[in-house]
Copies of this chain bind each other. A is one copy, B any other.
Amino acid sequence: MKYAYFFSKSLTEGSAKMKDLLGGKGANLAEMSSLGIRVPPGFTITAEACAHFSQHGAYPQGMWEEVLANLKRLEETEGKRLGDAERPLLVSVRSGAAVSMPGMMDTVLNLGLNDETVKAVAKGTDERFAYDSYRRFMQMFGDVVLGIDHALFEHALDEAKRKRGVKDDTALEAADLKGVVEAYKRIYEKERKQFPQDPLAQLKAAIDAVFRSWGNDRAIAYRQIHKITGLKGTAVNVQAMVFGNMGDDSGTGVAFTRNPSTGERRLYGEVLFNAQGEDVVAGIRTPLDIEDLRTHDAKAHKEFEDIAKRLEEHYKDMQDIEFTIERGRLYLLQTRSGKRTAAAAVRIAVEMKAEGLIDEKTAILRVRPEMLDQLLHKQLDPKAKYTAIAKGLPASPGAAAGAIVFTAADAELAGAQGRQVILVRAETSPEDVRGMAAAQGILTARGGMTSHAAVVARGMGKCCVVGAESLRIDEARKTITVGETTLKEGDRITLNGSTGEVIVGEVARVDPQISGEFATLMSWADRHRTLKVRTNAETPADTRKALELGAEGIGLARTEHMFFGEDRILAMREFIVAHDRAGREAALSKIEPMQQQDFEEIFALMAGKPVNIRLLDPPLHEFLPKTDEDMAQVARSLHVPEAQLRERVEHLHEMNPMLGHRGCRLAITYPELAVSQVRAIMNAAARVRRGGVEVLPEIMVPLVGDVSELSQLRALIVEAADAAVRAGGIPVAYQVGTMIEVPRAALTAAQVAHEAQFFSFGTNDLTQMTYGISRDDMGKFIPAYIEKGMLKDDPFQVLDQDGVGRLIRMCVEEGRRANPKLKVGICGEHGGEPSSVKFCHRAGFDYVSCSPFRVPIAKLAAAQAALEGDA
């Protein structure tokens, strides 16, 4: 087995195809070397070596010998030697896994410096540069390899600046930096850590540290959040150093080949002169726009432009490029597909197709469906009047509002409790990613468009404002001060991620305008998907919105609200307190015409598209008053003694309402309820049909656990529906089926399918029962699960394919075997979650149904599932 791959202008062993082995960075360094692009030479130690190290705590046999052989090759290529007192080779040691995990793992620069070689470097360049590099190396090595608190080093550096009376690192002189090196040595001593003077020992320790960093908490958390699985480990890139901090003709930068926020086809990035790469990513000094390179160094700019175009053509995707200019000479340090906002992703995909760079299928697969949420969710209402108290950089578009929290842990807690919060930090670090995922939006006082907060938030499709420097954030006291205004924890703010504005209070938000590229992409998705996409809607407003977003039917119209309306609840309560069936029927007869009216509106809007209507589902006690005051008032309205009402309320109390008298159990005990609803549905259908509009009602029985429930109710429904159709005088086809939300219904699908024309998976309740978790109560124990890393995904958001999904697959297979015409869909919230939609495609569903705004997401996911299935 080969553990190290060399890359240089003249000899390159790897290629872009070897990402799994060499990591993204290593593979692309090799690729660029092969393309003849100027890259500092070096070699990549494979991810397999890391995997061996993780497992056994030691290098695989022969690896170190390969490292030494490649080092020798590198020394020969560069004409320098590691540790040489005359011409010392300095190298960087960088991690790089197959999937980019920015900032998660460790990097060591300037390796090879020691008390001897620093003098040689000083001789070859200048003393200030040499000692600055040395102290940087000591700092990084101490922090990354030996785990010394980096604050100690920063403190010593600040001390030197204070003594010298300067603010900027660059203002320190050689003598000062020598002093810093001495101070750093004292820190090592005090911390009882050894700084190895032997460069080979440095190299070995740095490689070990990178290997170990694969298993650190933040890297594990990052992989969990981003659902990165199946990787062996990280590769390690050992590469000759080039310096962006050799004076004003040197610099280092990061740039995208297109605008990652809007998708515009134009270089987008930043350069920081006289700086090393880590300075840019850290966002500590504010860099210059990449355009400034044109005036500063026209040759380098032109060269960069050409390389960017070549790389895009080569990789056929927008690139995120790291580079260094050493004394006017441009080196590429990394290229990779750039992270981007949803708007950018859509625009880039559609434009690249137009440019002929990629084909339609590739364009569809380029946009992560969940990102569309950003495009589809709210923006600030353009008509809303507000005054921003601060303005930062518009790092990730959209609008978000919520209560201020100051720690990632608080954001996580809030997320688990369903509260909406904005995470406010001076700057974010990898430890904060879980909290960022849980917050509605992120606000930082520091950092640029490529700072940690900005990059991560864009990846998450989360509204984010960074570098709002006028904010004074006191994380200890949990306050934000801007001028005279002080905000404290819990105060509500609004962020405009598209402008960078920060606003006190909640500002009205509106639905987004949808771009032409978006429509194009959706039309392509429609062409490739086989899964139909319906919506969960029961009001005319939602129905209209869903149609506008392309819904192909209603997958779930809940009828609860048709009993809750102000004009209906009293009749419903009359139903509940009635003594006999006649009394109940009298009460229902008041609601029935109103329900018919509701259904007529929906049928008219859907104009022949299928409309799946669920019979009443919630337990009756939900319709009864809770407080003493309401109780008295309702008793008066119903003309019943308060004691009687109270007794009824007590009688209906349930220990576990989720598993109680609800769903089809209501219709079994009160058949008149189902009959009245069916009559309203079918009378509405007949009426709309008589108006010349097609109708296609599907009547859905909830909470079936045993086939006998469905067969009983189907008989009842068919009888009532056929009677209504006969009375309506016009033929109306309809279907009867069931929700599958009780595990037993799935386990006995072969029986249930004989009585059903369709199955619609109610994955919310199915997940509650399969997991034995009440969503209402999980706030008490789920935070501990999150804290301990026991939950990969929230199973109420992402369908649990191992458990619930397995039940679903069994159910579909056996249901279809028993009834080959069975129509299968999903109406739980998972119907709009991309990985769950793809699961539904693979499991052979006919359709998914989701909330109106998720319709496009589901469509794109469905198209991708179809294309992925082809591959």
Bound-state CA distance A660–B668 (Å) is 28
Does A513 interact with chain B (Cβ within 8 Å)?
no
Q: With contacts A669-B784, A803-B748 known, is A777 near B743, CB below 8 A?
A: no
Interchain CB contact under 8 A, B788 and A771: no
Does A806 interact with chain B (Cβ within 8 Å)?
yes
Bound-state CA distance A665–B774 (Å) is 12
Interchain CB contact under 8 A, B768 and A659: yes
Bound-state CA distance A458–B776 (Å) is 49
Interchain CB contact under 8 A, A706 and B661: no
Scan A665-694; emit 1 where CB is below 8 A from any B CB, else 0: 100110000000000000000000000000
What's the least CB distance linking A92 to chain B, in Å? 38
Q: Which of A176-184, A589-597, A650-658 contacts B (4 or more CB under 8 A)?
A: A650-658
Q: With contacts A659-B774, A765-B772, A777-B659 known, is A784 near B668, CB below 8 A?
A: yes
Interchain CB contact under 8 A, B665 and A804: no
Bound-state CA distance A182–B784 (Å) is 86
Bound-state CA distance A657–B777 (Å) is 8
CB closest chain-B residue, reference A666:
B781
What's the least CB distance linking A771 to chain B, in Å? 5
Q: With contacts A658-B656, A768-B659, A780-B660 known, is A790 near B706, CB below 8 A?
A: yes
Partner of A747, one of B751, B781, B785, B802: B802
CB closest chain-B residue, reference A670:
B784
Partner of A655, one of B657, B751, B771, B788: B657
Interchain CB contact under 8 A, A747 and B772: no
CB closest chain-B residue, reference A620:
B780
Bound-state CA distance A769–B807 (Å) is 14
Q: With contacts A769-B743, A790-B709 known, is A776 near B807, CB below 8 A?
A: no
Interchain CB contact under 8 A, B785 and A772: no
Bound-state CA distance A265–B456 (Å) is 88
Interchain CB contact under 8 A, A802 and B661: no
Does A744 interact with chain B (Cβ within 8 Å)?
yes
What's the least CB distance linking A224 to chain B, in Å? 12
Residues of B within 8 A of A655 (CB): 657-658, 774, 776-777
> Which residues of A from 756 to 802 have beta carbons under 8 Å from B?
765, 768-774, 776-778, 780-781, 784-785, 788, 790-791, 800, 802
Interchain CB contact under 8 A, A659 and B772: yes
CB closest chain-B residue, reference A709:
B790
Bound-state CA distance A751–B792 (Å) is 15
Scan A494-506; emit 1 where CB is below 8 A from any B CB, else 0: 0000000000000
Partner of A774, one of B660, B744, B748, B768: B660
Q: With contacts A777-B657, A781-B661 known, is A705 near B802, CB below 8 A?
A: no
Interchain CB contact under 8 A, A656 and B777: yes
Does A708 interact with chain B (Cβ within 8 Å)?
yes
Bound-state CA distance A134–B243 (Å) is 123
Bound-state CA distance A36–B778 (Å) is 75
This chain: copies in complex: 2
Partner of A705, one of B654, B661, B703, B771: B771
Residues of B within 8 A of A774 (CB): 654-656, 658-660
Bound-state CA distance A654–B778 (Å) is 9
Does A481 interact with chain B (Cβ within 8 Å)?
no
Residues of B within 8 A of A771 (CB): 705-706, 742-744
Residues of B within 8 A of A197 (CB): none
What's the least CB distance linking A850 to chain B, in Å? 23
Does A712 interact with chain B (Cβ within 8 Å)?
yes
> Which residues of A from 308 to 367 have beta carbons under 8 Å from B?
none
Interchain CB contact under 8 A, A744 and B668: no
Residues of B within 8 A of A785 (CB): 668
Interchain CB contact under 8 A, A743 and B765: no
CB closest chain-B residue, reference A783:
B669
Partner of A777, one of B661, B751, B777, B780: B661
Q: Which of A659, A712, A769 lies at the interface centre, i.e. has the most chain B CB atoms within 10 A of its CB?
A: A659
Q: With contacts A655-B777, A772-B659, A774-B654 known, is A708 near B790, CB below 8 A?
A: yes
Partner of A770, one of B703, B712, B744: B744
Q: Which of A705, A751, A781 lies at the interface centre, i.e. has the most chain B CB atoms within 10 A of its CB?
A: A781
Residues of B within 8 A of A784 (CB): 668-669
Interchain CB contact under 8 A, B772 and A705: yes
Interchain CB contact under 8 A, A776 and B656: yes
What's the least CB distance linking A791 to chain B, in Å? 8
What's the least CB distance linking A413 to chain B, in Å? 14
Q: Which of A712, A777, A790 lies at the interface centre, i.e. has the most chain B CB atoms within 10 A of its CB?
A: A777
> Which residues of A from 625 to 660 have beta carbons under 8 Å from B?
652, 654-660
Residues of B within 8 A of A659 (CB): 656, 658-659, 768-769, 772-774, 777
CB closest chain-B residue, reference A802:
B748
Residues of B within 8 A of A804 (CB): 744, 747
Residues of B within 8 A of A654 (CB): 774, 776-777, 780
Bound-state CA distance A659–B658 (Å) is 9
CB closest chain-B residue, reference A668:
B784
Residues of B within 8 A of A768 (CB): 659
Q: Which of A668, A747, A751, A807 lies at the interface centre, i.e. has the most chain B CB atoms within 10 A of its CB?
A: A747
What's the least CB distance linking A402 to chain B, in Å? 23
Interchain CB contact under 8 A, B665 and A781: yes
Residues of B within 8 A of A765 (CB): 772
Residues of B within 8 A of A712 (CB): 788, 790
Partner of A744, one of B742, B744, B791, B800: B800
Bound-state CA distance A202–B772 (Å) is 62
Q: With contacts A703-B772, A771-B705 known, is A807 near B743, CB below 8 A?
A: yes
Bound-state CA distance A665–B742 (Å) is 22
Bound-state CA distance A657–B784 (Å) is 18
Residues of B within 8 A of A790 (CB): 668, 706, 708-709, 712
Scan A803-846; emit 1 where CB is below 8 A from any B CB, else 0: 11011000000000000000000000000000000000000000
Closest 9 CB pairs of A and B: A659-B774, A656-B774, A660-B777, A744-B803, A655-B776, A742-B772, A708-B790, A665-B781, A661-B780
Query: 16 A-B contacts, Cβ less than 8 Å apart?
Result: A654-B776, A655-B658, A655-B774, A655-B776, A659-B768, A661-B781, A668-B781, A668-B785, A669-B784, A705-B773, A708-B790, A743-B743, A743-B807, A747-B770, A747-B802, A765-B772
Chain A residues in contact with chain B, CB under 8 A? 652, 654-661, 665, 668-669, 703, 705-706, 708-709, 712, 741-744, 747-748, 751, 765, 768-774, 776-778, 780-781, 784-785, 788, 790-791, 800, 802-804, 806-807
Q: Known A-B contacts: A706-B803, A742-B770. Give 20 more (CB < 8 A).
A: A652-B780, A654-B777, A654-B780, A656-B657, A656-B659, A657-B777, A658-B774, A659-B769, A660-B777, A660-B780, A668-B781, A668-B790, A703-B772, A705-B771, A706-B771, A706-B790, A743-B771, A743-B803, A744-B800, A751-B802
